[in-house]
Chain A
Amino acid sequence: MIRSANPLAQEPRYELITRVLRSNIQRGTLPEGLVLLEGPIATVMQTSRVPVQAALRHLLGEGLVHRFDGRGYLVGPAGKAIAPLRSDLREFTLDIPGEVDDALQTRGTWRHVYEQVEEQVASCQIFGEFRIVETELSHYLGVSRTVARDVLARLQERGLIRKSATSHWIAGPLTARTVREKFEMRAIMEPAALRMAAPYIRYAEVEQLLEMIESDVALTSKSLSDALVDLCIAQAPNTTLVEMIRSNRLLLSSVSSALTALGLPNDEATNDQYRTIFDLISRHPIDSAVEYLRDHLQIMARRNLARMKIVAVIGETGAFAPYLLPQ
């Protein structure tokens, strides 16, 4: 995800809408007596009705609009017996500052908010089991429930959350067993796939990568791990197997970055190990690379299990995001 540089991008959507309506009322663009309805405002702002409702309630509290004997709100303070003015909102050219417009536009998709949620959901799991409240999530993010559902679907696909018997979204607890089982799956599938992939491996790119490892110190072990999948393992002709391998790795990678974000030391640099694997793949019979990958995965499993222990010293500081309810 690309995080926007716009400071307003992180502001709840209803606040942005409140801001736009307030300034347009104050400068008279929206005249006294104009009937404000949720639907048309939502259309103009390209948003759902929920944040519009919240924005109107705010303006009511500020005395800038008031309720009347009909649907919606009237612009202007109560008690002045203003006659309702029913016009299409689009007739009034609303002044929407570029920044606000930009912030509203970039909110349309789950991609905008996903990374933040994934980190919060992955890291809370070391503390125990949580229920995720969908409405709270959409409110917290200032997105529609449709977008919140997209986010949740993606989290489920990664294995970070599941549905309980009562249809609640549940996250955690993350256990050593989960991590161990994921690595056992890797040890079963990945060496097998590598062997099957042998004739299809993108050898020219592997060679290039080897040269890069020699010269470029900036390569992270994560990028090398991804390259091992993309260039080699995922070239196996069995697409079902490749899909399983990819999805099996998702949870591990989310957990790993969440642990780092919580302050755990990074995994030891294993670039040497990747160099050896790529070297074996490109210059030796595939059997040797397969055997080495097996050993490598065993070491990685031990490292990850060791990490699962040390996370115990991280205290529960501060509150969890409001959509996460400890169970």
Chain B
Amino acid sequence: MGPEQRGLASPPRLHSRRLRVRGTSITLLSQVRERAETDLGFSVDYELLDFPTCQRRAAMEPQGYDVYEQCFHNLDIVWFWGALQPIDINRITEWDNISDLAKQGGISKYAWRGHGDAPVRKLYVQPGGFLGPKPARYISMLPTVHNMDSFGYDPRVFGATQGVQPSWSWLLDKRAKGRIALVDEPAIGLFDAALAAEAAGELEFADIGNMTIEEINALMVLLEDLRRQGYFCGAWRDGDQAARLVLDSNVAVQSMWSPVYGKLGPQPGTFVEAAPSEGYRAWHGGASLSRHLGGAELDMAYDYLNWWLSGYAGSVMARQGYYISTPDRSRADMTPQEWAYWYEGAPAAHDLRGPAGEWVVRAGARRAGGSYQERASRIAIWNTVMDEYNYATRAWDRFIRRIQDTRTVETGAA
């Protein structure tokens, strides 16, 4: 039997090549996965988890995934658990085009770096297996999607008309008592609360990006005191929960992620994004390689990583309000109106669609905070895993549990 006949006799082996991606709702969008499969010619499986679960399982079960899509700050957990392998930048085709925000720590030499861990401080693999900012051939995570987060608020509650600049202090403001929610992720929500406490003049941190035990205690005492007074009505872990809190629980101010605004449906400006006077809490996402990868699987993973920076994925991210580390490559995959709204801060020329085709921006609207340059120049702090992360996490979890218990009791009573 000749080789051609053998080929005909065996069934085609469809989808035998398969890449398993573990990540969060930030990047695991079906639009991205479907296009990647078409462009790359292999299957991509997504495992979508909330932040804390994703982080824990990525650290403890590296056999369960090939590529890990998460944020730089949690490399402090997953990298040091030994779950990942270094990425060789010589195999990253777009490496030279990746923005300075990721590679240098700021969009310009003079831009303020922000407190906490800028992604560059976790980027390069240093001698001894540590991570640091000194350029090297190997990196821990390929920088992809990122954003500068703030909070959303009801302008009617804060009397916010033109000329009133939102402050993080609104997140603990008496005017919103009983209608405040926080994001339940200790490397994120805790900093929202800390920024609020400092902006309100309640507390002062020597280094808000690396708090001492006493500072963490003081923050938790303040939050607990407010909780007892009934300030908080909930906490959320993903965008759907966040949207429900706004729509069903009448939240007046809460931590927000950009895509959630698109989930609120047509609403007449009663819940809007803040551009806080103190600056943003920023984060940077990326993709890492599982420790076990080798051979052909590793090649597939590199193909997928390179694909991520090649344009299309960045355009999907833009439509949910996130930036990509290679924006010039994604510009071609966006309409000029989309680019002008999301990246340049210009008024929307017409209604704009989100990743799934739903309408998310009305004609004439402008992105809060302005252009990418303006927003990226005003980073107050990065999501950070502090030295006392374990202590802070346990305290935070107890606090969140008490918020949720109170809520359950109240709902039950009603």
Contact = CB atoms under 8 A, between A and B. Distances in A.
Interface in A274-317: 299, 302, 305-313, 315
B219 to A, nearest CB: 15
Given A265-B82, A306-B76, A310-B59, A175 B391 contact: yes
Majority SS at the chain B contact face: helix
A175 B76 contact: no
B385 interface: yes
B60 A312 contact: no
B76 A176 contact: no
A311 B130 contact: no
A244 B388 CA distance: 26
A118 to B, nearest CB: 20
Nearest to B52: A313
Contact of B390 (A180, A263, A302, A312): A312
Interface in B171-224: 186, 212-213
B388 A310 contact: no
B128 interface: yes
A173 interface: yes
Contacts of A128: 394
B213 A310 contact: no
Contacts, number: 62
Interface residues of B, number: 24
Contacts of A323: none
Contact of B81 (A127, A180, A310): A310
Contacts of B212: 177
Contacts of A313: 52, 55-56, 59-60, 77, 81
Interface in A99-144: 126-128
Nearest to B76: A309
Interface in B19-75: 52, 55-56, 59-60
B211 to A, nearest CB: 11
A264 B77 CA distance: 11
A214 interface: no
A270 B290 CA distance: 23
B393 interface: yes
B77 A310 contact: yes
Contacts of A312: 77, 186, 385, 389-390, 393-394
B129 interface: yes
B385 to A, nearest CB: 6
A264 B130 CA distance: 17
Contact of B80 (A127, A175, A263, A310): A310
A139 B390 CA distance: 32
Contacts of B80: 306-307, 309-310
A176 B390 contact: yes
B387 interface: yes
Nearest to A179: B387
A308 B387 contact: yes
B61 to A, nearest CB: 11
B388 A175 contact: yes
Nearest to B392: A312
Interface string A24-54: 0000000000000000000000000000000
Contacts of A177: 212-213, 387-388
Interface string A235-268: 0000000000000000000000000000111001
Nearest to A177: B213
A266 to B, nearest CB: 9
Nearest to A299: B128
Nearest to B186: A312
A269 to B, nearest CB: 11
A176 B387 contact: yes
B121 to A, nearest CB: 13
Contacts of B390: 126, 176, 308-309, 311-312
Contacts of A306: 76, 80, 130
A265 B62 CA distance: 13
A60 B82 CA distance: 57
Contacts of B76: 306, 309-310
Contacts of B56: 313, 315
Contacts of B394: 127-128, 173, 312
Contacts of A265: 81-82
B375 to A, nearest CB: 29
Nearest to A270: B128
Contacts of B128: 299, 302
Nearest to A178: B213
Contacts of B186: 312
Contacts of A173: 391, 394
A176 B388 contact: yes
A173 B101 CA distance: 37
Closest 8 A-B residue pairs measured CB to CB? Answer: A312-B390, A176-B387, A313-B56, A306-B80, A312-B393, A309-B389, A265-B82, A176-B388
Given A177-B388, A263-B60, 15 more contacts: A175-B213, A264-B81, A265-B81, A265-B82, A307-B80, A309-B76, A310-B77, A311-B390, A312-B385, A312-B390, A312-B393, A313-B56, A313-B60, A313-B77, A315-B56
9 contacts: A173-B391, A177-B212, A177-B387, A309-B390, A310-B80, A312-B385, A312-B393, A313-B52, A313-B55
